[in-house]
Structure 1
């Protein structure tokens, strides 16, 4: 295994660290779970919109681990915004849990 070489790593990823003229955009990811919502007031710097979208996708399953309501259905959404507040990307996750009676399982 080669030792970590910061200069090689940094040269592969142009950023404000290696070039002060390159500025990563800041994105805000807001989350919604039915009546609950969480607005991102701080934002996070990502190299591009796809990386911000991927961060929103990665977070939704963790949010979905909360106990579901009695009907077993939940809908989650994440909205990726730019610094102007424009929604650039919407990510949704819909969950539904349905239980089947013992009689239905044995007749199938």
Structure 2
């Protein structure tokens, strides 16, 4: 089975995957990219704006799939974050 590499960017840090993951199909690559991106989303700031991204590369370095989320959150005038 082919090996794929998942590079991520959470708006603060960029991680380049040098180990890779063996997956059977592009559908599995998409599922893995979605999981990684949503994990980054749940760890992102709740106020402000950031772009979260995951790029899946094949063993030759070619991009197989790219997923980006533009996340923004803001508080209302009655919010107490104290």
TM class by shorter chain equals 0.7 to 0.9
Matched, 1:32 2:36: no
Aligned residues: 78
C-alpha RMSD of matched pairs (Å): 1.7
1:79 aligned to which of 34, 55, 58: 55
Which of the pair has more CA radius of gyration? 1
Contact 2:7 2:15 in 1 (8 A): yes
Q: How do 1:55-74 residues align onto structure 2 when only pairs under 5 Å count?
A: 55-68=32-45, 72-74=48-50
Moved over 3 A (4+): none
TM-score (structure 2 length as normaliser): 0.82
Aligned-residue offset at 1:87 = 1.0
Higher relative contact order (CA 8 A, sep 6+): 2
More strand by share: 2
Change (3 A) 1:100 1:79: same
How is 1:1-108 mapped onto 2 (pairs within 5 angstroms)?
24-68=1-45, 72-102=48-78
Task: Extract unaligned runs of 5+ from structure 2.
Answer: none
Give the structure-1-normalised TM-score.
0.64
Q: 1:42 to 1:84 in 2, by over 3 A?
A: same
Q: Which runs of 5+ in 1 are unaligned?
A: 1-23, 103-108
